[in-house]
Amino acid sequence: MLTKRQNLMETIRGGSPDRFVNQYEFLEIILEAPLRTRPKPGETITNEWGITYSWPKDQLGPFPVHDDEHMVLKDITKWRDVVSAPSVEFSDETWAPAVEHANSVDREDKFVTVFFASGTFEMTHMLMGMEAAMMNLYEEPEYMHELIDYLTDYEIRYAKQVIERIKPDALFHHDDWGGQIASFMSPEMFEEFFLEPYKKAYGFWKDNGVELIVHHSDSYAANLVPHMIDMGIDIWQGVMTTNNTPELIKEYGGQISFMGEIDSGVVDCRDWKPEIIAEHVEKACKRCGKHYFIPCLTQGLNLSSFPGVYEAASEAIDAMSKKMF
């Protein structure tokens, strides 16, 4: 039987996997690595970027507060006066839990993985709001390029610290680039603003020992796949069924792999049922096949919003492995 790591590589290289890669099983995500303050359910916090996040108890996650009082960046032309990247220097004591976790991992079985969020595009709209972030791409492109470069340089400074401390094998990077049925911007605009910065950042990670880049965008982004390949993404995680994953595999398999096809918004709900999850898992596995595909909830971590959903999906994937391998 192949290790989780071996089975993943056989899957994304079109080799001879002996089962489906089961969701995030191949990634050992070192969430103890220091990055920034995150809110908990019921909290409102202001993080190190000055962004205020609110997580109401009855909601599934936090989102920035963008009223006039809390907006960080109100005028893109003055971004240098108000946007200040937090320090990436943390003490040995702060790093200790992450280092201990990383050192405990059998790297022949799993990839030691660093988690990075939020990505460059998300940071622009978290600082100034979605409407302003999108409009400024049209109205103030020079300043947006400057801000994006600044955010990219911050990521690279952080990457240097992570690489020195835990020597990750993989990167799990968040940046949502679309809604359910369309990307937030055209491929041409995406190329103009985000392709080169991402090539720079992902190139740095890969030049310094990171073998695998997994990018999370639980959205429609099929029209951006050529750019994903160009910037060095190995696995797009969060691929929703609206992307026509089988067609993407047919066209791009061997250049990039696809992780998802089990829409969290459909199955991860308060009244979830294991038999419904099993139906979605079976459909995903049969539609997408054994190569260049990892069945997974589109959720952006190895968890679910409602208890038991992630585990039920994993059980259903194991069952499909027995049927199809």
Domains contained in the chain, CATH given:
4-324 (3.20.20.210)
At 37 the pLDDT is 85
User: What is the mean pLDDT of the segment spanning 4-32?
Assistant: 98
Q: What is the rounded distance in angstroms from the CA atom of residue 145 to the CA atom of residue 82?
A: 16
pLDDT at 45: 94
Residue 152 clears pLDDT 90, i.e. is over it: yes
Indicate the SS3 state at residue 236: strand
Average pLDDT, integer, range 242-270: 97
pLDDT class of 165 with cuts at 50, 70, 90: very high
Q: What is the predicted pLDDT for the residue at 139?
A: 98
Residue 294 — pLDDT band, cuts 50, 70, 90?
A: very high
User: What DSSP state is assigned to residue 241?
Assistant: G
Mean pLDDT of 61-89: 96
**For residues 121-130, average pLDDT:** 97
| Interval 133-137 mean pLDDT | 98
What pLDDT, on a 0 to 100 scale, did the predictor assign at position 58? 81
What pLDDT does residue 103 have? 98
Q: What is the pLDDT of residue 250?
A: 98
* pLDDT at 36 > cutoff 90: no
* pLDDT exceeds cutoff 90 at 24: yes
Residue 164 to residue 169: CA distance in whole angstroms: 12
Mean predicted lDDT score pLDDT of the chain: 97
Using CA atoms, how far apart are residues 298 and 237, in angstroms rounded to an integer?
Answer: 7
Asked if residue 240 has pLDDT above 90, the reply is yes
How confident is the model at residue 94, as a pLDDT? 97
Give, as one character, the DSSP assignment of residue 183: B
Is it the case that residue 262 has pLDDT exceeding 90? yes
- Has residue 174 got a pLDDT over 90? yes
- 30 φ/ψ angles, rounded to the nearest 5 degrees: -90, 80
Q: What is the rounded average pLDDT of the residues 70-90? A: 97
Question: What's the pLDDT at 57?
Answer: 85
| Residue 253, C-beta contacts closer than 8 angstroms, at least 6 positions apart | 14, 291, 292
Q: What is the pLDDT of residue 114?
A: 98
Query: With a threshold of 0.95, does the pTM exceed it?
Result: yes
Distances (CA, A) of 285 to 10, 227, 259, 265: 16, 26, 11, 18
- pLDDT recorded at residue 13: 97
